[in-house]
Chain A
Amino acid sequence: MAAELQQENKLAKLIGNFLVSRLSLADLQHLAAKKKVPVHKHSLWYYMGGITMIYFAVQVVTGILLMVYYVPEINAAHASILKINSQIDFGWFIRSLHSWGSTLMILSAAVHLFSSFFMRAYRQPREITWWAGLVLMILCLAFGFTGYLLPWDDLSFFATKVGLDITAKAPLVGGLLGPLLKGGNMISQATISRFFGIHVAILPLTLISLLAVHLMLVQSHGMSEPAAFADTPPEKRRYEPFFPDFFFKDMLVWILALNVLFVLVVLFPWGVGPEANPFAPAPIGIKPEWYFLGAFQFLKLIPPMVGPIEGELFGILAMSLVGLGFLIMPFIDNGSQRRRALLATIYGVAVVLGLIFLSIWGALS
């Protein structure tokens, strides 16, 4: 028995050594060992990117499974969702995982974005990591927007209508992009086909490539350290190695994140509305998904004309300006002056509060 075990161990070692040498795993081990994670009272936020990633992995797996039964055709799409929900074994489960997964992925991405912002992780040398992150956030929202049309129910129809009208009115790119996305003068088969292609091919490829850049940069810069931590004397600063310490904690957090998803899926399976009818009026009380509620409420509040410009255009410009603030923040708050840091904090707090306030207002009205 003992001899057998020893034999097995030997074999495992042999295979291990073979893999390590042939795949140059030593480099990887070195890389993993080099990375260390600062330990301080805000360390919690270092998990948010990882949580977003695990939710994305769920989206990829469940999305591919949904493609087996989903039919991107105007007369069949809604029926195929009904079939997934009621006839296919565990169809409701896969679909609810995908729908709730999208919500949680967007939520964790947003928390990740704002926590990096408040830790001032956009400062030199991490500007590109920060910009890549902003684009990743936009890609997440684009995933949500394109996926929402696919079930072809009444809400998805009008959500797409409004979203595409906003796109078409955007300055500069709108005139080109609007018709390309819609594929005709009304939302139809052409729109479903385009959204499907974007949702299942273009966005995943783009997101995965950009994520690779994002992660490589994180690896090469190491974790950012909040000022309070960086200013403490070196002997008081604590770090833990990324591998294995932080990595195992990461996995624990992932299991927690997946549990949250499973609980939501089982307690609140995702529903489907009645099939879209392009000639019926928008249902009273119609609302977008929570992550667009802020923008939705904002659009409701703007009067038809703001001074000389149309209300919609004003709204689009105002929202772009808020985004622009995040884009240029690395130049504004570059760490040189306290005043600039304060400005960044005020800006971030204002955006978060504004967003939460508008979203709650939108949800209640």
Chain B
Amino acid sequence: MRTALGTVAVLWGGVALYPIYRYLAPRPDTSDDETQVTSVEVCKLSELPKNSGKNFRFGSFPALLIHTEDDGLHAFKAVCTHLGCTVQYRGDIQRIFCACHGGQYDPTTGKNIAGPPPKPLDSLKVAVVNDQVVVSRA
């Protein structure tokens, strides 16, 4: 009798919990066209002086465009590889900086060079078309 009751309870619990789990589990976003973005016109090159950066939206994630002191253009996914804060370019130290726990990255390669981040930033492709800076997926 006890075992029967126990079995029923466990089965019933499982039957009740599974729909609740599925109800709560996030849907994989397939239809969301924002995630399909492949390139973004960020700004005019003339609007972005050397040794400065610009944060912008790339589809569903934040991104960062940098015009380095040596006239290079680089773009990265601006999501810190430590705990996911949004990074920014800091001209005073000429590095990409994460304000959350002080992580730092190299602005040309995106390599993690100081603080807690374990991995480099994901990089994006940059092109200049008629003075417009266009960033696209690498």
Instruction: Give residues in A with beta carbon < 8 Å to B.
Output: 158, 161-162, 164-166, 179-180, 182-186, 190, 278-286, 296, 299-300, 302-305, 310-312
Contacts and interface: CB of A to CB of B under 8 A. Distances in A.
Contact of B116 (A158, A183, A285, A300): A300
Contacts of A183: 24, 26
B8 to A, nearest CB: 25
B60 A299 contact: no
B55 A279 contact: yes
Given A282-B98, A285-B99, A302 B62 contact: no
Contacts of A282: 85-88, 98-100
Contacts of A284: 97, 99
Contacts of A162: 83-85, 100
A299 B98 contact: no
B107 interface: no
Closest 4 CB pairs of A and B: A281-B88, A304-B118, A165-B83, A282-B99
B115 interface: yes
16 contacts: A158-B85, A161-B84, A166-B83, A182-B26, A185-B60, A281-B62, A281-B64, A281-B78, A281-B85, A282-B88, A282-B100, A284-B97, A286-B99, A299-B101, A300-B101, A312-B118
B82 A312 contact: yes
A311 B114 CA distance: 13
B117 interface: yes
Contacts of A179: 25-26
Interface in B25-55: 25-26, 29, 55
B17 to A, nearest CB: 12
Interface string B60-81: 1110100000000000001000
A179 B115 CA distance: 27
Contacts of A190: 26
Contacts of B125: none
A311 B60 CA distance: 27
A279 B117 contact: no
Contacts of A184: 26, 29
A300 B26 contact: no
Among A161, A179, A279, A286, find the residue whose CB has the most chain B CB atoms closer than 10 A. A279
Interface string B101-138: 11000000000100111100000000000000000000
A124 B26 CA distance: 44
Given A180-B25, A300-B116, A312-B116, A281 B86 contact: yes
A304 B117 contact: yes
A312 B85 CA distance: 14
Contacts of B83: 161-162, 165-166, 299, 312
A282 B62 CA distance: 11
A312 B82 CA distance: 7
Contacts of A165: 83-84
Given A165-B83, A282-B98, A300-B102, 17 more contacts: A158-B100, A179-B26, A183-B26, A185-B26, A185-B60, A186-B60, A278-B86, A279-B55, A279-B62, A281-B86, A281-B87, A282-B100, A286-B99, A286-B100, A303-B116, A304-B118, A311-B118
Contacts of A304: 112, 116-118
B93 to A, nearest CB: 12
Contacts of B115: 300
A273 to B, nearest CB: 14
A313 B97 CA distance: 22
B105 to A, nearest CB: 12
A318 to B, nearest CB: 14
A178 to B, nearest CB: 10
Contact of A180 (B24, B55, B56, B102): B24
Contacts of B88: 281-282
B61 A186 contact: yes
Among A184, A190, A305, find the residue whose CB has the most chain B CB atoms closer than 10 A. A184
Among B83, B88, B118, find the residue whose CB has the most chain A CB atoms closer than 10 A. B83
B18 to A, nearest CB: 13
Nearest to B99: A282
A357 B101 CA distance: 17
B99 A281 contact: yes
Contacts of A311: 82, 116, 118
